[in-house]
């Protein structure tokens, strides 16, 4: 039996917990998968490294509108893929070697582990690991619909689709959320014939309703979109895959050489042996933690146990996992002066084409929470600003939701060029409690930058200026 001061399950965000504080203490880090976790190997980083060249490819079509003759003559898939993974695989390998060989106090286990008791883990090969403190940072994995043929060769998840030998000629993508919408943009821009199929009547349904509607329309201009279609099954036919969906009383039949399933992710807590330990869990399988990220059992913190990342939150976002890691790190090192996780204004961005970025409440949520008459909202088109004219943009929107009396922002929702960048000052305003009138009027907004659309949206909310506000 090996005993440690700290055992961390998961080398994604969990890897950052091994600070200098632990130099004179014993640490175990355990990961049965690829070292570095989801974001580095199969998530945020490689997907966005595909999105950027896809945007370049897509710009050829947009340039035509502006009188510029750019021809997209094809994408060299193996070159794009190998550039991305050439960089990423080396980072993962270097991280693994560092943990395995270069730190005397750290032991790397590359096996699956599960809990035996709250302070003891057992590896798949039967080794016992006990620790004073254990952090569960086990992430999440793709879920697959229960349909015949879902495990056929040619049917992929986000884990394998980025390593294909060749760009698919035709790709059916199942799902209407983040992963489906990002990959639909990537593959269609690079030259695959893409059809995105969603079970419900719109794409990106968890967004504010105006963004959902605008994105569904924008996507359908760029790639095939089929809605209200429920997968019945997949069969192999010749060299391709044959997909059958139920749509009301009708059938929808699609053929493709490749299928991507992007129908959600579930926390990796089911194979962790926690069910017998009485830990509090949500219905989706994530661990419930308190504000200090301590794992709870019947509402009470289990001594020495912390949870973080996709295994213990509902957002499933890397910037949330990173912040939680900082909180866990502090609380492990300062048990008598723990600090809480701040979950105000958690933003998210969907790096599709067009991009979406959001923070805070949708209009519907704001009206339900604060009362129908207490809420102001506005939609400002990118096309109403000079930079929007320069882009000949007919699609981008900024939607803001604010509290009438206090003038504070309740939510911001942007679809269009660089939405993830445009939203950042609005996130800052929400976190610092800056009211919309002050935000709009007390700073200069650079002319004619696209950020003027944010300025105009803030002014368009109609919050009256106070007497001493700048003109």
Ligand X SMILES: Cc1cc2nc3c(=O)[nH]c(=O)nc-3n(C[C@H](O)[C@H](O)[C@H](O)COP(=O)(O)OP(=O)(O)OC[C@H]3O[C@@H](n4cnc5c(N)ncnc54)[C@H](O)[C@@H]3O)c2cc1C
Q: Which residues are catalytic?
A: 447
Of 7 and 231, nearer to ligand NAD (C-beta) is: 231
Of 309 and 388, nearer to ligand X (C-beta) is: 309
Cα dist from 309 to 127, 282, 334, whole Å: 26, 14, 20
Considering only residues 36-75, where is the footprint of ligand X by CB under 6 A? 37-39, 42-44, 47-48
Of 134 and 391, nearer to ligand X (C-beta) is: 134
Of 262 and 427, nearer to ligand NAD (C-beta) is: 262
Considering only residues 94-153, where is the footprint of ligand NAD by CB under 6 A? 145
Of 176 and 411, nearer to ligand NAD (C-beta) is: 176
Strands 224-226 and 347-350: unpaired
Map residues 160-189 to x or -, x wherever contact with ligand X holds by CB under 6 A.
-------------------x----------
- Residue 304 touches which of ligand X, ligand NAD, none (CB < 5 to 8 A by kind)? none
Query: Is residue 207 a contact partner of residue 196, using CB atoms and an 8 Å limit?
Result: no
Task: Based on the shown chain and the rule CB under 6 A, indicate whether residue 136 belongs to the binding site for ligand X.
Answer: no
The interface region with ligand NAD, picked from 51-59, 207-215, 348-356, 380-388 by CB under 6 A, is 348-356
The interface region with ligand X, picked from 5-13, 21-29, 87-95, 336-344 by CB under 6 A, is 5-13
Number of C-beta neighbours around residue 249 at 10 A: 5
Query: Is residue 34 a contact partner of residue 169, using CB atoms and an 8 Å limit?
Result: no
Residues 6+ apart with CB under 8 A from 39: 12, 13, 45, 318, 321
Task: Based on the shown chain and the rule CB under 6 A, indicate whether residue 317 belongs to the binding site for ligand X.
Answer: yes
186 vs 180: CA distance, rounded Å: 10
Inter-residue long-range contacts of 299-302, CB under 8 Å, 24+ positions, other chains counted? 302/118, 302/277
- Considering only residues 80, 172, 180, 453, which one is a binding residue for ligand NAD as defined by CB under 6 A? 180
Task: Based on the shown chain and the rule CB under 6 A, indicate whether residue 456 belongs to the binding site for ligand X.
Answer: no
Q: E strands along 257-374, which residues?
A: 258-261, 265-267, 294-297, 300-307, 347-350, 356-360
Map residues 223-252 to x or -, x wherever contact with ligand NAD holds by CB under 6 A.
--------x---------------------
Number of C-beta neighbours around residue 205 at 10 A: 15
Q: Which residues bind ligand NAD (CB under 6 A)?
A: 145, 174-180, 182, 198-200, 231, 262-265, 316-317, 348-351
Q: Which residues bind ligand X (CB under 6 A)?
A: 9-14, 30-33, 37-39, 42-44, 47-48, 112-114, 137-139, 158, 179, 268, 271-272, 309-311, 316-319, 321, 351
């Amino acid at each position: 039996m090996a005993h440690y001061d700290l055992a961390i399950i998961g080398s994604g965000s969990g890897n950052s917990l091994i600070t200098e504080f632990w130099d004179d203490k014993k640490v175990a880090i355990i990961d049965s998968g690829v070292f570095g976790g989801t974001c580095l190997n199969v998530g945020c980083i490689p997907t966005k490294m595909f999105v950027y060249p896809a945007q370049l490819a897509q710009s050829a079509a947009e340039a035509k509108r502006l009188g510029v003759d750019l021809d997209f003559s094809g994408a060299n898939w193996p070159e794009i893929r190998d550039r991305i993974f050439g960089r990423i695989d080396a980072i993962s390998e270097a991280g693994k070697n560092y943990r395995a060989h270069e730190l005397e106090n750290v032991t790397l286990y590359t096996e699956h582990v599960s809990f035996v008791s709250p302070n003891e883990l057992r590896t798949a090969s039967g080794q016992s690991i006990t620790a004073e403190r254990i952090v569960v940072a086990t992430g999440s994995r793709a879920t697959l619909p229960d349909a015949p043929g879902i495990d056929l060769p040619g049917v992929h998840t986000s884990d394998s689709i980025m390593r294909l030998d060749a760009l698919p000629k035709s790709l059916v993508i199942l799902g209407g959320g983040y992963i489906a919408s990002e990959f639909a943009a990537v593959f269609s821009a690079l030259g695959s014939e893409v059809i995105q199929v969603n079970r419900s009547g719109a794409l990106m349904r968890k967004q504010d309703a105006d963004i959902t509607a605008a994105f569904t329309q924008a996507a359908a201009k760029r790639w095939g979109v089929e809605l209200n279609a429920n997968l019945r099954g997949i069969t192999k036919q010749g060299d391709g895959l044959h997909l059958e969906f139920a749509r009301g009383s009708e059938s929808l039949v699609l053929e493709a050489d490749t299928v991507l399933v992007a129908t959600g992710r579930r926390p990796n807590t089911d194979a962790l042996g926690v069910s017998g330990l009485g830990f509090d869990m949500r219905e989706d399988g994530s661990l419930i933690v308190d504000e200090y990220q301590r794992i709870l059992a019947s509402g009470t913190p289990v001594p020495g146990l912390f949870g973080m990342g996709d295994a213990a939150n509902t957002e499933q976002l890397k910037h949330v996992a990173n912040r939680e890691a900082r909180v866990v790190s502090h609380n492990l090192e300062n048990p008598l002066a723990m600090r809480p996780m701040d979950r105000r204004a958690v933003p998210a961005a969907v790096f599709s084409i067009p991009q979406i970025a959001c923070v805070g409440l949708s209009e519907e949520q704001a009206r339900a929470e604060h009362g129908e008459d207490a809420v102001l909202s506005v939609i400002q088109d990118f096309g109403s600003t000079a930079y929007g004219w320069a882009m000949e943009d007919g699609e981008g929107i900024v939607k803001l939701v604010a509290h009438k009396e206090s003038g504070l922002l309740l939510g911001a929702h942007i679809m269009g060029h660089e939405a993830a960048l445009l939203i950042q000052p609005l996130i800052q305003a929400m976190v610092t409690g800056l009211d919309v009138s002050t935000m709009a009027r007390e700073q200069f907004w650079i002319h004619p930058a696209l950020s003027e659309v944010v300025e105009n949206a803030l002014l368009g909310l109609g919050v009256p200026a106070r007497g001493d506000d700048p003109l």
